[in-house]
A and B are shown apart, each in its own frame.
Chain A
Amino acid sequence: MDILSVFNLLLALTLAPLLPGIINRTKAFFSGRVGQPLLLPYFDIARLLRKGAVYSTTTTWLFRAGPVAGLATAAAALTIIPALGQPALISFKGDIFLLACLLALGRFFTMLAALDTGSSFEGMGASREAFYAALAEPALLIGMAALALVTGELSISGMYAGIAGKVFVSIVPICALVAVALMLVFLAENSRIPFDDPATHLELTMVHEVMVLDHGGPDLGLIQYGMALKMWLLGSLVVGVVFPMPGGLYASVVYVCALFALAIGTGVVESIMARFKMPRVPQLLVAAGAASFLAVILAAR
């Protein structure tokens, strides 16, 4: 076990809530406001964890399991996510499928918790989430397949270390296509504009937010922390193909800076474009899948 891999995992667990903070500050800057404190997500989570929770009598254990499963799967997935070329804490052949399964499991429980409330809003949200995820997952997996083909590795850590060892020019087209696909998956999975609007209060238009409407107190705190971890882990996959470099302390610094830059970029996107009409969202996700598939073709050539 590499001490740096443990260090990177600790970085992820402590710095993840900074990402939504940075996005919000970027948006505030663009709209001419001072914006909320950068550390507000930490305070929010701390505040929520100290609160009590109210449960509807119509809900079952599924409702309470949702937030726990969401956080647990995200935290578990982080252990197989490399930091640029630095291998993850755990890595084995085919761990990409474990990643996809963990993401799906977390989502499955979030959706069950939403359906458990019996609210028509939350049911709609769950149905949208399932639909989008069904399109985002192939884009992620096919993109990873391209990396596996080009590096000959079958673990995520192996792939990311592999592209770092390649001659840069030879893998640029593949990395660029995979980066585009993963960026779209990143925005979709983290319910950001143009897929979803995390800032809206309109329950009819929400996707992720509406599924957690009935959660409060510690449950909501777990959900928010889980979402931050998910953002960090999907962001790690994106920056890994944008900055392929071998592991080391230096790589860890670049890694964290690149993730912060990604958060700023997300904030910029949210500041300059409107959210898509819902029927257009699948088109964009299919485009992400197409980019991934093109990368596979290039890698197999």
Chain B
Amino acid sequence: MQIPLILQFVNLLASILLLVVFAMLAQRRILSLINLFAWQGGILALSTFVVAYSTRQHHLYYSAGLTLVLKVLLLPWLLHRLIRKLQIRQEVETLINIPTTMLVGIGLVIFSFNLAAPIAELAQGITRGLIGIALASVLLSLLMMMTRRKAITQVVAFLSLENSLFFAATSATQGMPLVVEFGIALDVLVATFIFGIFFFQIRETFDSLDISHMEKLKDD
């Protein structure tokens, strides 16, 4: 049952990742939310690096580097800039109050752990449980996306979702083929730029980034 210390470290990072997602779910201020997102990226880069080191897969070093540059430095910087440029108010506005969200979150974690339990039994060593944690993070990010009212928090939730998936790809499966990873990273980058374009368009049109203005299209 004993697994090497370095892999235990990956497990620990995975748990911290889940914790960060919860912290994001509980966060009331947008700037702190973005900082947490940067932290999430940092943990992701570190865990990718550790997996790369322990499995000696060189292409994972590139992934780790890419994560570091893209998700710890570039994207948070862009988001900070956007917030300053658009002069967004600081509070995160939620549709459901935060404690309820947290309870639902716990439910989601239980659900995803249950779902992943048969996989955890199959997997050997390192990947044991990581799929479950990744799945839980994915669902929590989805929850965050659904319960937030501002466009920018939805975007952070979306990016956190991508991070969770990236974690699943690099740590749980020890790296997808490099071409796929680059494709994913490129898509995320382009998506963020498009989000940025959207922010300006939405604000120009609605004078606000509150997406509750955008509930006109309904079937009645």
A and B from one complex: no
Mark A residues whose CB is within 8 Å of B.
none
